Amino acid sequence: MAIFKGAGVAIVTPMYADGKVNYEKFTGLIEFQIKNGTDAIIVCGTTGEASTLTHEEHLDVIRHCVKVTAGRIPVIAGTGSNCTETAAYLSREAEQIGVDGLLLVSPYYNKATQNGLYAHFKAVADSVKLPILLYNVPSRTGCNILPETIVRLCRDVENIVGVKEASGNIGQIAHLAAIAKGCVDIYSGNDDQIVPIMSLGGLGVISVLSNVAPAQTHEICQKFLDGDAKESCRLQLEALDLCNALFCEVNPIPVKKALNLMGMEAGALRMPLSEMEPANTERLEKAMKAYGIL
């Protein structure tokens, strides 16, 4: 059974001006997501600035998310690393905390071979019992998990069940769906490709857009799951300008700015991320107003 179907939010980690995690605001963001129909919370991913959290902070953020969510919807923890032992350690700790699944990004910077990726993911998966989603985002990691490797892992390793596909390569994702023959749960990792990937058999999205428009992102997925592909497509296209604005600078710079513009107080970014450029802020505000969330 899939960990979830529909729209899972890749939730931000709100911070104070001094960079410390703001747990009060984090509680508010979690409640906002649940109230507005989000189907799962993905904590400590790229959008959650996991790469600049210490291991202690990383686990504390996961712990807080599990506590506040209290079983109402699934919590999937990002526990990937470019060090296999670190990924295994974070995964074991997250399992003890009580998450429902794990998201493992491909090792960044190392540029492992496909055999290296297989060995890495298998080693981490063997250290836990939780269901695992792989995370393919070559634009950020410099490493592409090929469809054949994803299928091999899902067939060989019982608790590797699917992939967040953020390659942006629809041809590659179609090839994955074709050779997987149902053994891989595929989720879009790009908000502008929810409907295309669901049309190939995908189960939903792990979404940045959901941070600011949870009800709308859920509806895009739900309409498709309910068989109304035409309405799902209409909603996807309606959100396209905002999706693009949310990625006019590197994620999560724009989405944190968007939440701050909405009065949600997501707060500061950790270096090396920096404040959004004024021209891009103007573009983002315009897109948010046009979409009706500002």
| 135 is known as an active-site residue | yes
Catalytic: which of 164, 223, 256, 257? 164
Q: What is the 3-state secondary structure (H, E, C) of the chain?
A: CCCCCEEEEECCCCECCCCCECHHHHHHHHHHHHHCCCCEEEECCCCCCHHHCCHHHHHHHHHHHHHHHCCCCCEEEECCCCCHHHHHHHHHHHHHHCCCEEEEECCCCCCCCHHHHHHHHHHHHHCCCCCEEEEECHHHHCCCCCHHHHHHHHHHCCCEEEEEECCCCHHHHHHHHHHHCCCCEEEECCHHHHHHHHHCCCCEEEECHHHCCHHHHHHHHHHHHCCCHHHHHHHHHHCHHHHHHCCCCCCCHHHHHHHHHCCCCCECCCCCCCCCCHHHHHHHHHHHHHHCCC
Q: Which residue has the tokens 């670190």?
A: 86
Residue 35 domain-assigned?
yes
Residue 57 domain-assigned?
yes
Q: Which domain holds residue 42?
A: 6-228
Residue 273 domain-assigned?
no
Catalytic: which of 5, 25, 118, 135? 135
Looking up residue 96, the CATH number of its domain turns out to be 3.20.20.70
Residue 136 domain-assigned?
yes
Here the tokens at position 95 are: 């399992």
Distance CA 220, CA 199 (A): 12
Residue 66 domain-assigned?
yes
Residue 118 domain-assigned?
yes
pLDDT values of the chain reduced to their tens digit, one per residue, 294 residues: 899 999 999 999 999 999 999 999 999 999 999 999 999 999 999 999 999 999 999 999 999 999 999 999 999 999 999 999 999 999 999 999 999 999 999 999 999 999 999 999 999 999 999 999 999 999 999 999 999 999 999 999 999 999 999 999 999 999 999 999 999 999 999 999 999 999 999 999 999 999 999 999 999 999 999 999 999 999 999 999 999 999 999 999 999 999 999 999 999 999 999 999 999 999 999 999 999 999
Residue 261 domain-assigned?
no
| 291 is known as an active-site residue | no
Residue 293 domain-assigned?
no
Q: How many domains, the chain?
A: 1
**pLDDT computed for residue 1 by the predictor:** 81
